[in-house]
Amino acid sequence: MKILNGRQILVGKRHAFTLIELLVVIAIIAILAAILFPVFARARENARRSTCQSNLKQIGLGFLQYTQDYDEKFPMSRNGNLPAEQGDWALTLQPYLKSAQIFQCSSETRGPETGAPSDYYGYNDYWVNRRLCGIAGTDAWLGRSQADLNAAALICLMGDGSSDDRY
């Protein structure tokens, strides 16, 4: 007992946290973390998805601007035997886009495989691009114009994919 200003004050022994109390607090924090981490991961992936959708929209607008400048013809795709500088659609579209980074999906964890900026988003040249745009360095198809498309809504111009047909 201690006397302060004429009053008696009980001064007790200071108690520390017990081991059980500490373990309970740690368990509660672990449970909250287990609940919140997947939520944050989903939110991050949704933000990346929005970025990818925005990039694809910008690339599509780049295609439209290119076709307006070049008599409604689509840019040529690159034959696998040609260097990227000759007929790479992404290099052709770069003047119409703000940045070369637009071709890199934010969800992609591996680095680009070549020097071409189109290493992430696939321009469906296996069946759409080569029939629609032609192949650089060949006379097989000289490319088509937008006016040649009968059912434009049914044709996939480009998309994000994991195919090796990224040219």
The DSSP result for 12-27, as a single string, is PPPPPPPHHHHHHHHH
Read off the pLDDT band of 109 (50, 70, 90). Answer: low
Instruction: Determine the Cα–Cα distance for residues 118 and 85; give it in Å rounded to an integer.
Output: 12
Tokens read off for 74? 């689509």
Domain count, the chain: 1
Digit-coded pLDDT (tens) for 20-55:
999 999 999 999 999 999 999 999 889 988 888 888
Classify residue 133: in a domain, yes or no. Answer: yes
What are the pLDDT digits (tens) for 125-158? 333 355 555 555 554 445 567 777 777 777 777 7
- Is 2 inside any structural domain? no
Q: Which domain holds residue 130?
A: 17-160
Q: What pLDDT score was predicted for residue 67?
A: 87
Q: Which residue has the higher pLDDT, 10 or 21?
A: 21
Greater model confidence, 112 or 160: 160
In a domain, 9, yes or no: no
CA-CA distance, 64 to 93, in Å (whole number)? 10
Tens of pLDDT, residue by residue over 50-91, are 888 888 888 889 888 988 998 888 877 665 555 555 566 777
pLDDT number for residue 124: 34
pLDDT at position 160 is: 67
At residue 164, the pLDDT reads 45
**Would 45 be classed as within a structural domain?**
yes
Strand pairing partners for 8?
3
